[in-house]
Amino acid sequence: MQGFNKYYPPDFDGSKHSSLNAYRGKHALGDRARKIDQGILITRFELPFNIWCGTCNNHIGMGVRYNAEKKKVGNYYSTPIYSFRCKCHLCDGWFEIQTDPKNTRYVVVSGARKKEEDWDPEENGGFAVHDTDPNAAPVDPLAALEKSTDAQNHMNKVQVPRLEALQSHSDHFGSDPYALSLRARKKFRVEKKIDKEKKLVDDSLKSKYGLPETLSLTAESEDTRAQAKEEWLRGRQEFEAQQMSKKRKLVDVGVVPRLPPALRSSSSKSSESSSSNLPNPLESLRTRILRNTASKTRLKSSGLKR
């Protein structure tokens, strides 16, 4: 058993045993390194494609995982080539798969055969990869040279002046960051002071007229003044129209509103002069009430007789 705690046995010698694993005669990777002396490490390997086992001839699907024996078998330049030797889970046969760094793929070496599922466009009436037109003429070197010359001229006449203009513009506005920051902060302080004064005026106006605090007031200008004046005139006309309609209703009913004392004396003279010609509204109202009462009593008495 590997030691995972801080306990060291009495016979542990630090000069002789570099670690507890060395003292126990175990590897740090445990049972996975049982063949480490042969250069083999047990690792988990997943099949990258479908294969048929060469021993039992059964199909093994892509993605099946095995405890494979991983071993380095060579190099492609500086890239190592690894071999994965797996035991079939359907029989006792072994198969081996190696990496192919040159073609960036896996290759079945022995014990199985790969299921070919690569689509070849040439076999299906298409063109080969990176060859869209096999009958095309070879590239004209003079045309390629002219194209490169045009690109060079365009770069010298259009792109380079544009880059220089952008660079000068950037140097003009970004050469002195302190001055730019000072100017921006000064402008911000002025705007902040104006906003603070405007807020004080708005708050005083809201508190004076009892307006809600959430109401936002617009800045005063000629347009807002004219608009406010129009709204005030429209509201006044509506109010006067409502008052006139109320007066008409009172006159139709026969009730005249009581005038204030200041106007009562002036209107008394005019009423005396016109009283001889116009009927008394109180008398007419009294007559109508008596007539309605008499009609109601007549209806009740007729109902009782029946």
Which range is least confidently modeled, 27-41, 188-202, 230-244, 270-284?
270-284
Provide the pLDDT for residue 263: 47
Would you kindly state where each structural domain of the chain is located, as residue ranges? 30-117
pTM for this model (two decimals): 0.38
Provide the pLDDT for residue 14: 75
CA distances from 53 to 42, 46, 56, 91, 288 (A): 21, 15, 6, 9, 118
> Terminus-to-terminus CA distance in the chain, angstroms?
120
Span 65-73, average pLDDT: 95
pLDDT tens, residue by residue, 208-227: 888 888 888 777 788 888 88
Burial pattern 138-152, b for ≥16 Cβ within 10 A else e, equals eeeeeeeeeeeeeee
